[in-house]
């Protein structure tokens, strides 16, 4: 499915299902709205899935893996080879996202969308490689506009396949050394915030290294002047992983399944997706507020709030997988709490 067709297919949430879910929640033996965001999550799930009885038991975290040409500028404390190593390690079951995915009964879908390595020795990894890493955004566009759109369409197609296979909840994750730099650059332009605010330490940079990373982001923006639209920003400053995740958010809206932001990088992908098509926002949940400083500004631009504040910044989809447990808790209360009629208690009435 191409991007233009996908955008045309996105529909609003089911308001009737949301109204009925709200009525059910208000009938439960609790003060009105006393479960806070858990209640709003249930209502949103009902609107997305078009049912009074949302079922999200079959879920997956999609991990988009890609290398970034800007790594040659020395903006990371990790060598580029770590991207391919960790991508393979996802299959061994001991990474952070593996742990939380197992805990939340979540499948992992690992996609090579641009790793600078031959991963044919790991056939479980889905091969949607655009090419072996982007170009260095310091010297010109990271990718062509056509490549950016192709990567977005990979995400759309992948979510479509998962929905056909029976999945009803999608989380987003990524692996790509240097992708906090690309995310800082994209978000600085899309939020109109200085790179000094949007650029963080990534994998533990020193003050001097952080200053250098910030200057790289500044120079990349000046070199590329990425201002025509959000796809232009993505193509000139982004990575294939971010583009693929943006496609996942769009694909989730097309196929009417909830899609969960992990941390800073997937939040930037979500912002790109929402700038491409504002209706996508209705299908997005936020898991946690990443420790990366730019996360605050990106969520503000999305006009969304994180559910969890844990000072995490691991990525990989760890926050998304962890947040599935809270969505489970929300639905558990929704389905299993008694009503006022069950308890023979007079129902709460809103005070005017």
* Domain boundaries along the sequence of the chain: 3-53+334-343, 59-326
At the topology level, CATH places domain 3-53+334-343 in 1.10.1610
Distances (CA, A) of 110 to 59, 88, 120: 14, 9, 13
- Interval 274-317: pLDDT, tens: 999 999 999 999 999 999 999 999 999 999 999 899 999 999 99
Q: Which two tokens stand for residue 95?
A: 């990474």
pLDDT for res 342? 66
pLDDT for res 216? 96
Burial label for 92, CB within 10 Å (0-12, 13-18, 19+), is exposed
Q: Is the pTM above the cut of 0.75? A: yes
State in words which class domain 59-326 has.
alpha beta
Cα distance between residue 66 and residue 87, in whole Å: 9
pLDDT at 256 over 90: yes
Q: What percent of the chain is predicted at pLDDT more than 70?
A: 97
**Does the annotation mark 292 as catalytic?**
no
pLDDT-derived band at 77 (thresholds 50, 70, 90) equals confident
Cα distance between residue 126 and residue 141, in whole Å: 26
Q: Write the secondary structure of 252-316 as one string of H (helix), E (strand) and C (coil).
A: HHHCCCCEEECCHHHHHHHHHHHHHCHHHHHHEEECECCCCCHHHHHHHHHCCCCCECCCCCCCC
H or E element, residue 169: strand 169-175
Q: Where are the beta strands (DSSP E) in 17-84?
A: 59-66
- Which residues share a beta bridge with 174? 64
Q: Which two tokens stand for residue 310?
A: 């844990």
CB-facing half-sphere around the CA of 168: CA atoms within 13 A? 14
- Using alpha carbons only, what angle is made at residue 257 by residues 270 and 235, rounded to the nearest 5 degrees? 30
Distances (CA, A) of 186 to 86, 158, 226: 24, 23, 9
Secondary structure (3-state) at 162: helix
Q: Name the active-site residue from 303, 316, 332, 346.
A: 316
CB-facing half-sphere around the CA of 323: CA atoms within 13 A? 32
- Mean per-residue pLDDT of the chain: 95
Distances (CA, A) of 309 to 34, 108, 252, 284, 312: 20, 24, 25, 18, 8
Burial label for 199, CB within 10 Å (0-12, 13-18, 19+), is buried
pLDDT at 343 over 60: no
pLDDT-derived band at 339 (thresholds 50, 70, 90) equals confident
């Amino acid at each position: 499915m191409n991007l233009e067709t996908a955008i045309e297919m996105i529909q609003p949430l089911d308001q009737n299902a949301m109204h009925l879910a709200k009525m059910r929640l208000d009938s439960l033996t609790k003060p009105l709205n006393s479960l806070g965001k858990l209640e709003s999550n249930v209502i949103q799930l009902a609107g997305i899935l078009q049912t009074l009885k949302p079922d999200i038991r079959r879920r997956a975290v999609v991990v988009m893996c890609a290398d970034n040409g800007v790594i040659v500028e020395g903006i990371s404390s990790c060598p580029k080879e770590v991207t391919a190593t960790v991508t393979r390690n996802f299959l061994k079951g001991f990474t952070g996202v593996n742990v939380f995915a197992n805990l939340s009964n979540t499948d992992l879908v690992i996609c090579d969308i641009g790793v600078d390595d031959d991963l044919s020795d790991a056939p479980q990894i889905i091969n949607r490689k655009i090419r072996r890493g982007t170009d260095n955004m310091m010297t010109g566009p990271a990718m062509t506009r056509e490549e950016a759109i192709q990567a977005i369409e990979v995400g759309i197609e992948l979510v479509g396949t998962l929905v056909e296979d029976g999945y009803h909840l999608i989380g987003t994750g990524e692996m790509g050394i240097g992708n906090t730099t690309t995310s800082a650059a994209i978000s600085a332009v899309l939020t109109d915030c200085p790179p000094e605010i949007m650029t963080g330490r990534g994998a533990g940079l020193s003050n001097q290294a952080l200053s250098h990373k910030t200057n790289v982001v500044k120079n990349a923006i000046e070199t590329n002047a990425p201002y025509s639209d959000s796809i232009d920003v993505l193509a000139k400053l982004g990575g294939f992983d971010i583009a693929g995740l943006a496609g996942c958010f769009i694909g989730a809206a097309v196929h009417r399944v909830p899609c969960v932001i992990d941390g800073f990088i997937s939040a930037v992908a979500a912002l790109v997706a929402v700038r491409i098509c504002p209706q996508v926002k209705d299908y997005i949940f936020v898991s946690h507020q990443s420790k990366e400083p730019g996360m605050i500004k990106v969520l503000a631009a999305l006009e969304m709030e994180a559910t969890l504040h844990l000072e995490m910044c691991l990525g990989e989809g760890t926050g998304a997988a962890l947040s599935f447990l809270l969505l489970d808790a929300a639905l558990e209360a929704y389905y299993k709490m008694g009503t006022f009629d069950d308890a023979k208690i007079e129902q709460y009435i809103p005070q005017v």
